[in-house]
């Protein structure tokens, strides 16, 4: 059954989004510094002929940076994406994507004009079939080569300043692992010198918007790969958890019976190979991660250093963090006090909001707790728990946005660490998106979290009132009918049954190929080499 599911998924539309568009990974494109691919819908660059967008110069922000990175002109990610490209597609209206072929988050339809709202739910609230489908999507993404994107396997200088391109294919899942590595990797300064105190997505204000965008792209990617346009990332609510309750074979993989650092052979993820996990080796070889397989996923939940992270975060920790009124505070890095971002990221004590380098709290606590692939920043996205964890972190960010209703100006415009100013373009995405664009409510990006949707009793009653009204009328009518004679009532019931039956059948046929029965799924876990 799983084979059938995957086969069905494989033959559906395959398209991807993320890092270097394949169409721009040529010496010609790099020489011209232009990444404005043709939109297949009309064969014009950026879908210009159809009014989707046009090829435009990339205008860089000149706002001053913080003092944390004391170099210029040494890292390809500085002034992203100008080392590689100075012209990219700028899409208009509801369009987005490297050739303006996609709809902006929250829009759909041929012309990207219809609004939609998708709801991310707790992984424990998914039905068995929905949960199995999610796992099947992960497996599919790990095995499907990205059609539209490739990764860079060398620096711009190693590519002879673009004259000898170094790019390679990557799977849809690993594309995102690589992007997370690339954004957080160290700077190779030449010779044996390496600068480690740099990160374009962590330890500074961009942490929350960057991961928000990353998850939205990931979600969009899975939607395109599987044709399941309503797919949403499930989240893991880890508040007050005492153990990793998603670390079972039914969910994200249990523990191996004899080697506690590995996953149980009954989990799909036991056969996964990690990439980009050997940062010190890349540094000593002065290369980038080239996405070669580096061994199995490692995870040993709870075996971490308990002096650093005594327990998983509590509801009180989250609540205390949410009460912080400042999004960011000087010096806008991991030493910031009273910064909501720094506290949620986990570099400050959640109860006092004072930075504490001896502890890993909130977001960081989960990474440390997993004691394996999740625990090193650069390779952490190898573990699919990363996605569930970051969805929950994003939901806390969303709660803060709702509670404090910040203006765009609350996000720092200047003097943040490199890559983190409001108008900085987020590394390593093409085309370009600014940090500030994702410092907005999730509903404006077309999604919400099930647990944040007000269960207001009044609105629930509003919702069911029409049904109650209908039921009341039917009752009155039935009582009336009963008075006339039971014959009429039973005829209605019979007719109702007849009308319902074909409908239910149609529903189950339609859904069957995507659903997996529990027992089929369990049987298939032992043959994951599909």
CB of 13 or CB of 493, closer to ligand NAG? 13
Shortest Cβ 527–ligand NAG spacing (Å): 28
Shortest Cβ 328–ligand NAG spacing (Å): 12
CB of 198 or CB of 298, closer to ligand NAG? 298
DSSP 269-287: GGGPBP-S--HHHHHHHT-
Shortest Cβ 32–ligand NAG spacing (Å): 6
Shortest Cβ 315–ligand NAG spacing (Å): 25
Contacts of 217 (CB under 8 A, 6+ apart): 17, 18, 176, 429
CB of 110 or CB of 458, closer to ligand NAG? 110
Contacts of 423 (CB under 8 A, 6+ apart): 61, 63, 413, 434, 435, 436
CA distances from 190 to 168, 182, 239 (A): 24, 18, 44
Shortest Cβ 496–ligand NAG spacing (Å): 25
Find, among 224, 449, 189, the residue nearest to 197 by Cα. Answer: 189
Over its C-alpha atoms, the chain yields an Rg (Å, rounded) of 25
Shortest Cβ 405–ligand NAG spacing (Å): 26
CB of 30 or CB of 524, closer to ligand NAG? 30
The residues of the shown chain that bind ligand NAG, judged by CB under 6 A, are 32-33, 57, 86, 109-111, 157, 160-161, 228-230, 303-305, 331, 335, 337, 354-355, 371-372, 375
Backbone angles phi, psi at 137, to 5 degrees: -65, -40
CA distance 456 to 463: 11
Decide if 418 contacts 69 (C-beta within 8 A): yes
Shortest Cβ 161–ligand NAG spacing (Å): 4
Shortest Cβ 475–ligand NAG spacing (Å): 30
Judged by DSSP in three states, 88 sits in: strand
Shortest Cβ 208–ligand NAG spacing (Å): 20
Shortest Cβ 277–ligand NAG spacing (Å): 10
Question: For tokens 């819908």, what's the residue?
Answer: 41
CB of 353 or CB of 524, closer to ligand NAG? 353
CB of 303 or CB of 314, closer to ligand NAG? 303
Find, among 123, 151, 117, the residue nearest to 137 by Cα. Answer: 123
Per-residue DSSP letter, 193: E
Backbone angles phi, psi at 127, to 5 degrees: -70, 165
Backbone angles phi, psi at 176, to 5 degrees: -75, -35
CB of 438 or CB of 449, closer to ligand NAG? 449
CB of 237 or CB of 296, closer to ligand NAG? 296
Decide if 525 contacts 518 (C-beta within 8 A): no
CB of 102 or CB of 237, closer to ligand NAG? 102
**Joined tokens for residue 111:** 């012309």
Shortest Cβ 363–ligand NAG spacing (Å): 16
CB of 265 or CB of 331, closer to ligand NAG? 331
- CB neighbour burial string for 197-231, b if at least 16 within 10 angstroms, e if fewer: ebbbbbbbbbbbbbbbbbbbbbbbbbbbbbebeeb
Other CB atoms within 10 Å distance of the CB of residue 319: 13
CA distance 313 to 293: 33
Shortest Cβ 288–ligand NAG spacing (Å): 17
Shortest Cβ 371–ligand NAG spacing (Å): 4
The pairing of strands 87-91 and 34-35 is parallel
Using alpha carbons only, give the angle 292, 296, 297 rounded to the nearest 5 degrees.
105
Shortest Cβ 57–ligand NAG spacing (Å): 4
CB of 9 or CB of 524, closer to ligand NAG? 9
First-last CA distance in the chain: 12
Identify the sign of the CA torsion 522, 523, 527, 529.
Answer: negative
CB of 361 or CB of 528, closer to ligand NAG? 361
CB of 101 or CB of 372, closer to ligand NAG? 372
CA distance 362 to 393: 9
Find, among 383, 199, 387, the residue nearest to 296 by Cα. Answer: 383
CA distance 518 to 128: 7
CA distance 225 to 14: 5
CA distance 238 to 480: 54
CB of 55 or CB of 478, closer to ligand NAG? 55
């Amino acid at each position: 059954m799983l084979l059938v599911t995957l086969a069905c998924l494989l033959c559906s539309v395959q398209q991807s989004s993320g890092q270097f568009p394949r169409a721009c990974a040529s010496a010609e494109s790099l020489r011209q510094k232009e990444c404005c691919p043709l939109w297949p819908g009309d064969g014009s660059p950026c879908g210009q002929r159809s009014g989707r967008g046009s090829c435009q110069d990339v205008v860089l922000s000149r706002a001053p940076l913080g003092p944390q990175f004391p170099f210029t002109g040494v890292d390809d990610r500085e002034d992203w994406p100008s080392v590689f490209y100075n012209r990219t597609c700028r899409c208009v209206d509801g369009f987005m994507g490297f050739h303006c072929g996609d709809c902006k988050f929250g829009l759909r339809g041929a012309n990207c004009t219809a609004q939609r709202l998708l709801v991310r739910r707790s992984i424990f609230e998914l039905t068995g079939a929905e949960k199995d489908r999610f796992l099947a999507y992960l497996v599919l993404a790990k095995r499907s080569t990205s059609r539209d994107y490739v990764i860079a396997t060398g620096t711009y200088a190693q590519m002879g300043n673009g004259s000898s391109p170094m790019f390679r294919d990557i799977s849809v899942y690993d594309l995102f692992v690589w992007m997370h590595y690339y954004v957080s990797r160290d700077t190779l300064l030449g010779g044996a010198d390496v600068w480690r105190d740099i990160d374009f997505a962590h330890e500074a204000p961009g942490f929350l918007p960057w991961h928000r965008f990353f998850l939205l792209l990931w979600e969009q990617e899975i939607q395109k790969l599987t044709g399941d346009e309503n797919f949403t990332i499930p989240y893991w609510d880890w508040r007050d958890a005492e153990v990793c309750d998603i670390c079972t074979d039914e969910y994200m993989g249990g523990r191996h019976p004899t080697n506690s650092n590995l996953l149980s052979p009954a989990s799909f993820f036991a056969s996964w190979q990690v990439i980009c996990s050997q940062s010190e080796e890349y540094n000593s070889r002065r290369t980038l991660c080239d996405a070669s397989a580096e061994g199995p996923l490692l995870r040993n939940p709870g075996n971490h250093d308990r002096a650093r992270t005594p327990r998983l975060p509590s509801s009180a920790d989250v609540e205390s963090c949410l009460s912080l009124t400042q999004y960011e505070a000087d010096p806008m890095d991991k030493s910031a006090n009273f910064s909501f971002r720094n506290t949620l990221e986990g570099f400050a004590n959640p109860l006092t909001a004072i930075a504490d380098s001896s502890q890993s709290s909130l977001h960081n606590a989960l990474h440390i707790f997993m004691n394996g692939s999740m625990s090193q920043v650069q390779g952490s996205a190898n573990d699919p728990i990363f996605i569930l964890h970051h969805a929950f972190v994003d939901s806390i960010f969303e709660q803060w946005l709702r509670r404090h209703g910040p203006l765009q100006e609350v996000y720092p415009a200047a003097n943040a660490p490199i890559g983190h100013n409001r108008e900085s373009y987020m590394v390593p995405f093409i085309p370009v998106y600014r940090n500030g664009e994702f410092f907005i409510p999730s509903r404006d990006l077309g999604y919400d979290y099930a647990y944040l949707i007000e269960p207001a009793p009044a609105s629930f009653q509003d919702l069911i009132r029409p049904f109650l009204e209908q039921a009341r009328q039917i009752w009155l009518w039935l009582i009336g009918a009963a008075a006339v004679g039971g014959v009429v009532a039973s005829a209605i019931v019979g007719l109702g049954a007849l009308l319902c039956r074909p409908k239910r059948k149609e529903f189950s046929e339609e859904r069957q190929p995507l659903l997996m029965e529990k027992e089929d799924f369990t049987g298939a876990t032992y043959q994951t080499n599909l």
